[in-house]
Amino acid sequence: MLLDTPICDFDWPAPEFTLNDFDGVSHKMSDHLGENGLLIAFICNHCPYVLAIANRLAEDAKELQAQGIGVLAVMSNDYTYVPSDSPENMKLFSQKYGFSFPYLVDEDQSVGKSYGAVCTPDFFGFNTQGGLQYRGRLDSAAMGDPTGRTCELVDAMTQIAKTGQGPRQQTPSMGCSIKWS
């Protein structure tokens, strides 16, 4: 089922969480709130929308990290229903695309629910105070054709890092529904 993300609820406070990555290493959200903000991306391994952007997400995340912006990815799908989203497959996915950020397992789906995540990919950009400033798409590229793309997420997070405020005009992300238990 194709879904669009809701519009940004500016300054909505990021709920704290602690999740393990696919190797069982624990990560606390606030520990990744970089000196210039934090991007949390709800993704999974099997969604065609995530597959279409995975390389670009990996590249853009490195650019954001170089600017002092923290990056986390969260997988909230029920992987007993979708085995391709299992922690073992998350590790392979992360390695395949060269993720430079933690890819976390939302085992009980509580983080996805507390954030109101609706689809994969679903991007949440926070300022240094943990206030939501971006809830849009990665870029302007058409599905499968990244030529001439505008890097909307990178541009928004750069603006947030500089001003603490996100752009008022944001295009929703779209993708596959999260597979709830």
SS3 content of the chain, % helix, strand, coil (to 5): 30, 25, 45
Question: Residues 76-90: pLDDT tens digits?
Answer: 999 999 999 999 999
What is the pLDDT, as a whole number, of residue 10?
A: 97
**The dihedral of CA 118, 121, 126, 132: what is its sign?**
negative
Strand order across the 18-21 sheet: 26-28, 18-21, 103-105, 70-75, 38-42, 122-126, 132-134
How many of the other CB atoms lie within 10 Å of CB of 105?
21
Whether the pLDDT of residue 14 is over 70: the answer is yes
What is the reported pLDDT for 117? 97
Domains of the chain (ranges; CATH) run: 2-177 (3.40.30.10)
Bridge partners, 21 (sequence order): 104
> What is the structure's pLDDT at 8?
94
Place of tokens 């909230």: 76
Q: CA-to-CA distance for 17 and 30, rounded, in angstroms?
A: 8
Element (DSSP H or E) covering residue 133: strand 132-134
The SS3 assignment for 78 reads coil
pLDDT of res. 145? 72
Amino acid symbol at 42: F
**Model confidence pLDDT, tens digit, residues 57-82:** 999 999 999 999 999 999 999 999 99
Q: Tell me the pLDDT tens digit for each residue of 109-133.
A: 999 999 999 999 999 999 999 999 9
| d(C-alpha 71, C-alpha 80), whole Å | 26
What is the reported pLDDT for 146?
A: 74
Gap between the Cα atoms of 175 and 108, Å rounded: 21
User: Which pLDDT does position 1 carry in this prediction?
Assistant: 54
Kindly report the average pLDDT of the chain as a whole number.
95
Task: For 127-179, write each residue's pLDDT tens digit.
Answer: 999 999 999 999 998 776 777 789 999 999 999 999 999 999 999 999 999 99
Model pTM score: 0.96
**What region, left, alpha or beta, does residue 81 occupy, with left being phi > 0 and alpha being psi -120 to 50 degrees?**
alpha
Are 3 and 178 in contact by the 8 Å Cβ rule? The answer is: no
Contact 129, 164 (CB under 8 A): yes
